[in-house]
Structure 1
Amino acid sequence: MGALFFAELPKTMSRPRFLPDNFTLTLMATVALASLLPATGHFAAYMEYATTAIVSVLFFLHGAKLSRQAIWAGIGHWKLHLWIFLATFVMFPLLGLGLRPVLEPLVTPEMYIGVLFLCALPATVQSAIAFTSIARGNVPAAVCSASASTFLGIVFTPILVSLLLHKNAESGGALQAIGKISLQLLLPFIVGHLLRPVIGGFLTRRASIIKLVDQGSILFVVYSAFSAAVISGLWKQTPLPALFGLIALCCILLAVVLAITTFGARRLGFSKEDEITLVFCGSKKSMVSGIPMANVLFASSAVGAVVLPLMLFHQIQLMVCAVMAQRYAKRAQSIAQE
């Protein structure tokens, strides 16, 4: 199981420490394309249908590849899971609100809404598990926790967004948003998992298929979201200093979260393996789940600005955690050799 997720890890690990991976460069090119040639008219409508379909296919494939044995292997470690979920759905939102006097002056109001949305999202699956594996952490617990975070996010994220922003989602309230997200993400995931005995072996042998759909879905949604945002004047309303401020904001937020999860795990008496799992699962935010959720929760013209913090945070977390995973692995190797 760990090998499958390791195969899907972005190529940050094979590059010099803080250089972007190929997918990030492609993502930047997609944003540039949407800025220069945004989708309009009937083409924009077709893009919306296509992105909905490909995201549903993505979650179908993720459900099909999730091993039931891995779920049972990790599910008994309830104390670790509890602290990971608290970090994801309680600590992050509290930090987004508590650090407001420091963070809000760095960015535009629309970007800060995106930061609060980022704080409400579930954890990412692939990179959290892959980094845990590389760092010699508790991989079964990471599989269980990261997968459960996706489920919980379908319910918790719309509710947290409503609470953090003091308003209902654009689609008519948190309950309606939960229904739409469940239909687009949860239902395909469950169907895929039920069909795992039929197609699971094929997907294990063809992990590149999931990676292609995974990255392709993000590119489709980003192009569609930024097209609508550009047409609504995103870049005219976003000064350059605010972009640099957003990068600083993401770095501050990630640093605080990593510090709390690392030292918190040690104060709670977790083993080094469980500490690694808490750090890498509790500090991640999912772009795969986040961008489709933004399409449901916000007006199309606002999605581009809302997901911009998520895109930056995602890349920063990959680069920083790649270095941390390597250091954890070297420490484990040196202890094993003693």
Structure 2
Amino acid sequence: MALTAKIFNKQNLFLLLLIVMVFMAKLIPFKASYNEFFNLSAFIDWGIAGIFLFYGLKLNLKEVVKDISNWKLHLIIQSGTFILFPLLVLLFYPWVKSSEFENIWLSIFFLACLPSTVSSSVVMVSIAKGNVTSAIFNASMSGLIGIIMTPLLMSFFLEPASGSENHGEVIQQLLIKVLLPIILGILLNPVFKKWITKYSTIIAEFDRLIILLIVYESFSTAFIENIFGSVPPIVFLILAFSVFFLFFMVYHILQFIAKKMKFNAQDIITVSFCGSKKSLVHGSLFLLVLGVTDDQKVLFLLPVMVYHSFQLFYVSWLASKIAQRKSVV
């Protein structure tokens, strides 16, 4: 319980720092002229590659292979992440197509296409006394599948700004910043396994630092170019409502399917928790890799940040409630 409390304190601090970055971007925005002294964009680019390198180094292939046999559970979770989520958002596309709300819809669709988060999925499942091994497997696989699925799903709606050449650039960025570092990390895993375990806390802090810098840079651009001036308050309400609606729909649909398939209580918890998560880390990174224009970055970040905050607070409460109920029984 002490470890759990420590993790949640760190998550709460991270959420507070996200808000601080937004205020810093408003008060002290990072201007292009500052790159002469410190190239923030280049640092973030290298940081993205570093995050995925560490992700590959931490990936335990033995654990992955060991849990493959529970394929029905894995199939439902990954289907929830990459099929159910996008389909629920796609249902609303005919009503927003070619309207002023299309970009808002696209930002929510971006959220729906993202892979699941790793750390909080495993922690929440552990608290609720679910199947932790399968949670680790699916959280890891989700990140790998997302490398292909997220850009693929977004490619149907996110048109490049400068023709087909831009598609080649997106693929190149995915290879250099995402896929290559992960492959390199997996190959080096046997050599650096002990080192990664020893410095796992520092590596986790590095992940958070890069995300905070991405948020700061994106919001700096938004404030400098007065992007918020063109976004009415109703947009934030629509985004928040859509995010909450999406979570509850996916959570309860996956739970219903797991019960109908007669999964045990541990696996039902794992399906509903892991399948309903979305990753702020991947959202922030794909935002840059996919070449989203500067004037759209904040709009795309907002649903991911709102969803990330909501899933941490609500699901942590839900996990504790389930754990207490099981203890009483």
- What TM-score do the two structures reach when normalised by structure 1? 0.87
Question: Which residue does the alignment assign to 1:313?
Answer: 307
Question: Offset of 1:205 from its aligned partner?
Answer: 2.8
* Counterpart for residue 132 of structure 1: 125
Counterpart contact for 2:96–2:102, Cα < 8 Å = no
Aligned partner of 1:153 in structure 2 is 146
Structure 1's 254 and 137: CA in aligned 2 closer, same or farther, altered over 3 A?
same
Q: 2:180 aligns with which of 187, 196, 216?
A: 187
Asked whether the equivalents of residues 74 and 143 of structure 1 are also in contact (C-alpha less than 8 Å), the reply is no
Paired residue for 2:217?
224
Are 1:246 and 2:239 counterparts?
yes
1:85 is matched with: 78
Deviations 1:55-83 (A, max 9, x none): 21122222212222321222221111111
Which residue type is aligned with residue 27 of structure 1? L
Task: Pick which of 248-257 and 200-209 moved more.
Answer: 200-209
Q: 1:272 to 1:182 in 2, by over 3 A?
A: farther
Matched with 1:112 is: 105
Kept after mapping to 2: 8 A contact 1:250/1:312 = yes
- Could you tell me which amino acid in structure 1 is paired with residue 319 of structure 2? A
RMSD value, Cα: 2.6
Distance 1:238 1:21, change over 3 A: same
- CA contact 1:62–1:210 (8 Å) conserved in 2: no
TM-score (norm 2): 0.89
In structure 1, list runs of 5 or more residues that go unmatched. 13-19
Number of residue equivalences: 322
Q: Which residue of 1 aligns with 2:159?
A: 167
The answer to whether 1:36 aligns with 2:27 is yes
Question: By how many angstroms is 1:103 displaced?
Answer: 9.2
| 1:276 to 2:274 alignment | no
Q: Call closer, same or farther: CA 1:161–1:326 in 2, change over 3 Å.
A: same
* CA distance in structure 2 between the aligned counterparts of 1:50 and 1:121, rounded to whole angstroms: 23
Shift of 1:203: 2.5
Equivalent pair of 1:7/1:207 in contact (CA under 8 Å): no
Q: 1:244-291 deviations in whole A, cap 9, x for unaligned? A: 332222111111111111112111211111111111111011111111
Instruction: Report SS of the residue matched to 2:116.
Output: coil
> Which residue identity lines up with residue 144 of structure 2 in the other structure?
F
How far apart in 2 are the matches of 1:308 and 1:111? 10
Gaps of 5+ in 2: none
Q: Percent identity?
A: 33
